[in-house]
Structure 1
Amino acid sequence: MEAASEAMDSEAEAEAEAVEVALQSGLVVLRGKNAAFMDPVRVLNAGYEAHHVRSDRYYARTFFTSTVEPVPGDADGEESRKRKRKRKVYTPNAKEAVAESRHQEVRSVILEAHEAFQKTVAPFLRKHIVFSDDDNCIASPSKSWTVPQKPTVEEGELNFVELAALWQAPLYEISFLESIDGQFGCEEEDPGTTALFNTVFENSSATSKAAQCGGCKYLLPKLSKFLISDIPELHQLIPGVSGDGFNLMVIDPPWENKSVHRKALYPTLPNRYLLSLPVKQLGHTDGALVALWITNREKLRHFAETELFPAWGVSLAAVWYWLKVTAEGTMVSPLDLDHHKPYECLLLGYLPSKGGLSSEEENVPSLDSRGRVDLPDKYVLMSIPGDHSRKPALKSILSKYIPRQGHGEKGLELFARELNAGWTSWGNEPLRFQHLSYFCER
């Protein structure tokens, strides 16, 4: 018995050590579960050499203290509140009924993933995701836990959406900095300046670099490029040769939303405009994996599945779920809350190959030494949310599912608000979170 107990303790210690090591990279895949936990700050840091993403500015919202989370199935408290309110019985409409049915289908999957996360990863969060307002802003086991203060917008930080509407917009230019605090140096000759809007700007160096625009400094990860424009100018990213196209595309549309519009958080886009995105033309000749972020509104889900994906030529392959958790490991809101679920959906689909693959091989991930790699369905990705509508970087978790991996990963993010190393980003504010104030020196 003692030997068996020692063996179990040894296994538990080994698992705990593996979790801590994985947390250093920012991605912990839960063994035996269709789930993973991500610290987006550490994932993004891989694109920079001399700087880190500031944790206190990434995790800007109040998801850091314990919340009282009802035990699933224990509805006594909720029932008591309902009796006190004496609300009339509400009958959901057809769309709400479908949305609730979808929720019930995935509810047990999310609970199982969250339970595994709380047992294996949550105990280490305080040690590895730490917030501090000193210069050295990276979490370390030696630091104490502090709740981040509400960040302030740096004076003079550009608002790209407002700027694009001005008549002076064509006059704004962006250029590399030769140095910044002695940390950066351009290996190539001075590239001069480039128009900020409607022009592709690229950091072709294998190191991160700083750029300047309108008196503000921005940090660009290695081998990244971006285009700030409206949809009609997106054609600039369509490759002349389809073999140079993108095989992994992440799309995060500014869906029409009354709450967002009322709070003026960001400009939204009518759904019909999304139909004109040249997703098919942007794709690689061997096909592409397309990931579409979507809210829990059934109207949008139906539109994406029945109109948007078909218009793009994408076939739906799987649905993933981003479960938002606090630094204590709890969900940010009760799982069964009617109008504010603690998760968002990610629809995953494939663009077909343009090179004439057999019908059996079309629309599937590439093959490896073990045989066909299947894209998992109902996968649960957990993380602490960042700023409003800021999604976790998917590069590290989706790259292994791109079609025909021999060409390597060629990533594109549409409606981006930050840059990823090695990727191309497009939108009306892809530099939103690249301002130097979102970083600190290593």
Structure 2
Amino acid sequence: MHSSLPHGQFGCILADPPWSFKTWSGKTGTPHRSANDHYVTTATSRLIDIPVAEVAAPDCALFMWVVDSHIPDALELGRAWGFEMKTRAFTWRKLAANGQARIGMGYWTRKQTELCFLFTRGKPRRKDKGVREIIDAPRREHSRKPDEQYERIEALVDGPYLELFARQAWPGWTAWGNETGKYAADISTAANDNDLFGRVA
């Protein structure tokens, strides 16, 4: 599935698991708009087998992005990797190019946000009590998360920092996955998110 995990004891791990799921057409009952159209997805049972606990420091924070349909899977995965669920770290409010809230699809209500959960192992130290939950940032390529996440995570907890299923190599982070070079990391992007859509300190 992927290469072996990097060596080390990481104080912070960020994961955007390639959840395996399909969406369905209400009229035809046929699958469409699947994540499989954009990248290789992985069943939760196989994600569980990744030995994340072996590279997590005794005191470690795990940030995990999750779609609503896979919240139970995210909770199961966090436990399997040796972590305890703590809280919702971030809620990404997706914006259109004009800065207005973007309205997506959904099984019941139409979605406008995506969640990032915070799990912990041991007792990682919270560095900054002022880090806020809401990230207002534009939606870009499919499943690409806002770069502002890195700045907020670094303000909140100590490293070393590891990103699982990374699609870019962010400065100061160890990137792991089969798409680490898909996007070019641009440190100015995080600042742009802050400036355009409300800086949080």
When the two structures are superposed, what TM-score results if normalisation uses the length of structure 2? 0.76
What is residue 84 of structure 2 aligned with on the other side?
315
Structure 1 residues 330 and 336: CA distance shift in structure 2, 3 A: farther
Structure 1 residues 427 and 309: CA distance shift in structure 2, 3 A: same
The C-alpha deviation readout for 1:107-153, integer Å capped at 9, x for no partner, is xxxxxxxxxxxxxxxxxxxxxxxxxxxxxxxxxxxxxxxxxxxxxxx
Please point out which of 167, 179, 182 is paired with 1:432: 182
1:398 aligns with 2:153: yes
Cα distance between partner residues in 2 of 1:273 and 1:380: 31
Counterpart residue type for residue 267 of structure 1: V
Please point out which of 113, 120, 133 is paired with 1:350: 120
Cα distance between partner residues in 2 of 1:434 and 1:367: 28
Contact residue 35 and residue 41 of structure 2 kept, 8 A? no
1:248 aligns with 2:12: yes
Cα distance between partner residues in 1 of 2:97 and 2:107: 20
Shift of 1:303: 2.1
What is residue 167 of structure 1 aligned with on the other side?
none
Q: What secondary structure does 1:234 align onto?
A: coil
Summarize the alignment of residues 20-419 of structure 1 with structure 2, pairs less than 5 Å apart.
230-231=1-2, 233-235=3-5, 237-239=6-8, 245-258=9-22, 259-261=32-34, 264-285=37-58, 287-297=59-69, 300-305=70-75, 307-319=76-88, 320-333=90-103, 338=108, 340-352=110-122, 362=123, 364-366=124-126, 373=129, 379-393=133-147, 394-402=149-157, 405=158, 409-419=159-169
Shift of 1:311: 1.0
Structure 1 residues 417 and 260: CA distance shift in structure 2, 3 A: farther
Cα distance between partner residues in 2 of 1:341 and 1:283: 33
Cα distance between partner residues in 2 of 1:294 and 1:309: 11
Structure 1 residues 268 and 336: CA distance shift in structure 2, 3 A: closer
* Paired residue total: 174
Cα distance between partner residues in 2 of 1:282 and 1:260: 34
Structure 1 residues 333 and 279: CA distance shift in structure 2, 3 A: same
Counterpart residue type for residue 80 of structure 2: A
Cα distance between partner residues in 2 of 1:309 and 1:264: 26
What is residue 190 of structure 1 aligned with on the other side?
none
What is residue 41 of structure 1 aligned with on the other side?
none
The C-alpha deviation readout for 1:195-228, integer Å capped at 9, x for no partner, is xxxxxxxxxxxxxxxxxxxxxxxxxxxxxxxxxx
Contact residue 261 and residue 267 of structure 1 kept, 8 A? no
Q: What secondary structure does 1:365 align onto?
A: coil
Shift of 1:388: 0.8
Q: Which has the larger radius of gyration?
A: 1
Structure 1 residues 374 and 339: CA distance shift in structure 2, 3 A: same
User: Which has more helix, going by share of residues?
Assistant: 1
Contact residue 251 and residue 415 of structure 1 kept, 8 A? yes
Contact residue 260 and residue 266 of structure 1 kept, 8 A? no
Shift of 1:366: 3.8
Structure 1 residues 423 and 346: CA distance shift in structure 2, 3 A: same
The C-alpha deviation readout for 1:379-416, integer Å capped at 9, x for no partner, is 211100111111112210111221xx4xxx31111111
When the two structures are superposed, what TM-score results if normalisation uses the length of structure 1? 0.36
Q: What secondary structure does 2:181 align onto?
A: coil
Cα distance between partner residues in 2 of 1:279 and 1:380: 27
Cα distance between partner residues in 2 of 1:265 and 1:293: 17
What is residue 170 of structure 2 aligned with on the other side?
420
Structure 1 residues 338 and 281: CA distance shift in structure 2, 3 A: same
Structure 2 gaps of 5+ residues are: 23-31, 186-201
Shift of 1:264: 1.9
User: Which has more strand, going by share of residues?
Assistant: 2
Q: What secondary structure does 2:4 align onto?
A: helix
Cα distance between partner residues in 2 of 1:246 and 1:336: 35
Structure 1 residues 324 and 427: CA distance shift in structure 2, 3 A: same
Percent identity between the aligned chains?
A: 25
Q: What secondary structure does 1:346 align onto?
A: strand
Structure 1 residues 334 and 252: CA distance shift in structure 2, 3 A: closer
Cα distance between partner residues in 2 of 1:262 and 1:283: 28
Contact residue 127 and residue 156 of structure 2 kept, 8 A? no
Contact residue 131 and residue 155 of structure 2 kept, 8 A? no
